[in-house]
Amino acid sequence: MEFIREKQREIPVIARPDVLVVGAGPSGLGAAIAAAKNGAHTMLIEKYGFPGGNLTTSMVNPIFTFHDINGRQVIRGIAGEIVEQMIASKASIGHVTDLTFDNASMTPFDPERTKVILFDMLEEAGVDLLFHTLVTDAEVKDGIIEYVVIENKSGRQAICPKYIIDCSGDADVAAFSNVPFTKGREEDGAMQPATLYFRVGNIDNTELRKWMKNNRNLLKDNPTDEEIDSQKAIAFLGLHELVDKAIADGDLDSEVAPRILMYELPNNQFSVNSTRLQNVDATNAKDLTQAEILLRKQVLQVHDFLKKKIGGFAQSNIIDTGIQVGTRESRHIKGDYILTEDDILQGTTFNDGIACGTFAIDIHPPKGKQQIFTGSGRVVYEVPYRCLLPKGIDNLLVAGKTISATHTAFGSIRVMATCIATGEGAGTAAALLNRKKQLTREIDIAILKKTLIKNGQYLLNGESEENRDESLILKRVNGSGEKAAHYNPFKKSK
Ligand SMILES: Cc1cc2nc3c(=O)[nH]c(=O)nc-3n(C[C@H](O)[C@H](O)[C@H](O)COP(=O)(O)OP(=O)(O)OC[C@H]3O[C@@H](n4cnc5c(N)ncnc54)[C@H](O)[C@@H]3O)c2cc1C
Degrees to nearest 5, angle at CA 383 with 420 and 338: 120
Strands 19-22 and 163-166: parallel
Residues 255 and 173 in one domain: no
Please give the radius of gyration of the chain, using alpha carbons only, rounded to the nearest integer.
Answer: 22
**Is residue 254 one of the residues assigned to a domain?**
yes
**Is residue 152 one of the residues assigned to a domain?**
yes
Q: Cα(319)–Cα(367) distance, rounded to whole angstroms?
A: 31
Residue whose Cα lies nearest atom 14 of ligand 1: it is 415
63 bridge partner residues: 107
Domain that holds residue 34: 13-185+331-464
**How many domains does the chain fold into?**
2
Q: Cα(316)–Cα(372) distance, rounded to whole angstroms?
A: 32
Eight-class DSSP state of 446: H
What pLDDT is stored for residue 230 in this prediction?
85
**Three-class SS of residue 341?**
helix
Tell me if the bond preceding 62 is cis, omega within 30° of 0. yes
Nearest atom, ligand 1, residue 263 CA: 8
**Is residue 7 one of the residues assigned to a domain?**
no
Domain end (from 270, 294, 327): 327
Strands 269-272 and 198-201: antiparallel
What pLDDT is stored for residue 375 in this prediction?
64
Residues 322 and 339 in one domain: no
Residues 24 and 144 in one domain: yes
What pLDDT is stored for residue 180 in this prediction?
98
Domain end (from 292, 327, 362): 327
Ligand 1 centroid vs 229 CA: distance in angstroms? 32
Averages of pLDDT over runs of 10 residues in the chain (494 residues) are 94 98 98 98 98 96 90 92 96 87 86 97 98 98 98 98 98 98 95 98 96 95 88 91 97 96 94 97 98 98 98 98 97 98 90 95 86 74 97 98 97 97 98 98 97 95 54 44 39 34
CATH number, residue 459: 3.50.50.60
Other C-beta atoms closer than 10 Å to the C-beta of 200 total 22
What pLDDT is stored for residue 474 in this prediction?
46
- First-to-last C-alpha distance (Å) of the chain: 65
Residues 144 and 87 in one domain: yes
**Is residue 487 one of the residues assigned to a domain?**
no
| CA-closest candidate to residue 222, choices 99, 310, 309 | 99
What pLDDT is stored for residue 132 in this prediction?
98
Sheet holding 144-152, edge to edge: 13-15, 155-159, 144-152, 134-141
Cβ pair 72, 66 in contact under 8 A: no
Residues 366 and 418 in one domain: yes
Long-range interactions of 122-126: CB distance < 8 A, separation 24+? 122/24, 122/29, 122/32, 122/33, 122/44, 122/51, 125/32, 125/33, 125/36, 125/37, 125/42, 126/36, 126/37, 126/42
Ligand 1 centroid vs 419 CA: distance in angstroms? 9
Residues 323 and 339 in one domain: no
Q: Is 23 in the pocket of ligand 1 (CB under 6 A)?
A: yes
Nearest atom, ligand 1, residue 169 CA: 27
Report how far apart, in Å, the C-alpha atoms of 19 and of each of 41, 50, 366, 397, 429 are: 6, 20, 35, 10, 10
**Is residue 3 one of the residues assigned to a domain?**
no
Ligand 1 centroid vs 45 CA: distance in angstroms? 15
Ligand 1 centroid vs 137 CA: distance in angstroms? 20
Residues 248 and 314 in one domain: yes
What pLDDT is stored for residue 462 in this prediction?
64
Residues 309 and 348 in one domain: no
Nearest atom, ligand 1, residue 193 CA: 1
Q: Cα(263)–Cα(270) distance, rounded to whole angstroms?
A: 5
Say which residues have a Cβ less than 8 Å from residue 422's Cβ, sequence separation at least 6: 27, 30, 354, 355, 383, 387, 388, 399, 400, 403, 413
Residue whose Cα lies nearest atom 21 of ligand 1: it is 54
Residues 55 and 166 in one domain: yes
Nearest atom, ligand 1, residue 173 CA: 41
